[in-house]
């Protein structure tokens, strides 16, 4: 008989963690915290990361970002879960993922790195779900508060909740505060 050694690799704050699933493409573990009402992700190479902000695009693909729980290293990423349940890492190098949103014409995806004080804009292809041409859209470097949640209105304006700034701000499609 083979003896196996079992070790705890992460003591996370779960109320009732269930249904662990290994994603071999990402080399990451996913599970649900039922009582905590959270969908969790663990990257064994970076055990201090977990899932953060997530939303569905208009074709039903689920987009979700991850964060460094220590709030200091750019270990976070943006991933896309397709309707066939395949998962693809779309962007990397963020500390805290937040602020997802899409323009009304489905040509721009917005994505915030809260600890990096930047909201990015990407060219977005609604049919394929691909993104490219990452560029700075908003900088929160010199204002009180960082973007933690967002939505886009029918006029294409990005509405952002600013943590520590205690406000919701509206930005026009060029990233200018209104």
> What tens digit of pLDDT does each residue of 131-174 get?
999 999 999 999 888 999 999 999 999 999 999 888 999 999 99
Q: How many CB atoms lie within 10 A of CB 120?
A: 21
* Separation of alpha carbons 116 and 146, rounded Å: 9
Tokens of 135: 């560029």
Q: DSSP letter for 177, please.
A: B
* pLDDT for residue 40: 82
* pLDDT for residue 20: 82
Residue 33 scores a pLDDT above 80: yes
Residue 23 scores a pLDDT above 80: yes
CA 167 to chain centre: 21
Question: Are 156 and 174 a contacting pair, CB within 8 Å?
Answer: no
| Sole residue written with tokens 């962007």 | 91
Residue 1 scores a pLDDT above 80: no
Q: Which CATH number fits the domain 46-171, given the four candidates 2.120.10.30, 3.30.70.890, 3.10.350.10, 3.30.565.10?
A: 2.120.10.30
């Amino acid at each position: 008989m083979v003896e196996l050694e079992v070790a705890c690799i992460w003591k996370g704050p779960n109320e009732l963690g269930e249904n662990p699933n290994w994603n071999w493409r990402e080399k990451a573990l996913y599970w649900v915290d039922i009582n905590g009402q959270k969908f969790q992700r663990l990257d064994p190479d970076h055990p201090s990361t977990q899932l953060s902000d997530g939303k569905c695009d208009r074709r039903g693909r689920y987009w979700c970002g991850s964060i460094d729980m220590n709030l200091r290293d750019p270990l976070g990423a943006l991933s896309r879960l397709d309707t066939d349940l395949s998962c693809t890492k779309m962007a990397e190098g963020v500390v805290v993922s937040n602020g997802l949103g899409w323009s009304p014409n489905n040509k721009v995806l917005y994505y915030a790195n809260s600890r990096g004080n930047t909201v990015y804009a990407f060219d977005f292809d609604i049919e394929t779900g691909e993104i490219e041409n990452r560029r700075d859209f908003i900088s929160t470097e010199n204002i009180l508060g960082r973007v933690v949640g967002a939505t886009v209105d029918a006029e294409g304006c990005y509405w952002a909740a600013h943590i520590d700034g205690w406000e919701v701000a509206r930005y026009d499609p060029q990233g200018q505060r209104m």
